[in-house]
Amino acid sequence: MAAIRAPLTEQIATAWQQVKAARTQGELEREWIWSSMLDRLLDRYCQGYR
């Protein structure tokens, strides 16, 4: 059975929280990974509203 995916807005909120947490903890690699994911999610979100 496939896992139920969170709505896009929830995924964006989670990614943003992870970016902030990584930045606070000084984890540069983790911050970069989550920032990249956040960029992709925001691109998908914007494409849905064009």
Number of structural domains (the chain) is 1
Answer whether residue 19 is part of any domain. Answer: yes
- Residuewise pLDDT in 10s, the chain (50 residues): 445 667 999 999 999 999 999 999 999 999 999 999 999 999 999 998 65
Q: Which pLDDT does position 11 carry in this prediction?
A: 96
In a domain, 12, yes or no: yes
Q: What is the distance between the alpha carbons of residues 16 and 6, in angstroms, rounded to a whole number?
A: 15
Residue 6, pLDDT score: 78
What is the pLDDT, as a whole number, of residue 48?
86
In a domain, 3, yes or no: no
Give the model's pLDDT for residue 33.
98
Q: Is residue 38 part of a domain?
A: yes
In a domain, 15, yes or no: yes
- 16 is in which domain, residue-wise? 8-47
Separation of alpha carbons 48 and 31, rounded Å: 26
- 42-49 long-range contacts, Cβ below 8 Å, gap at least 24? 42/12, 44/8, 45/8, 45/9, 45/12, 48/8
Q: Give the closest residue to 35 by CA, choosing from 48, 18, 47, 50.
A: 18
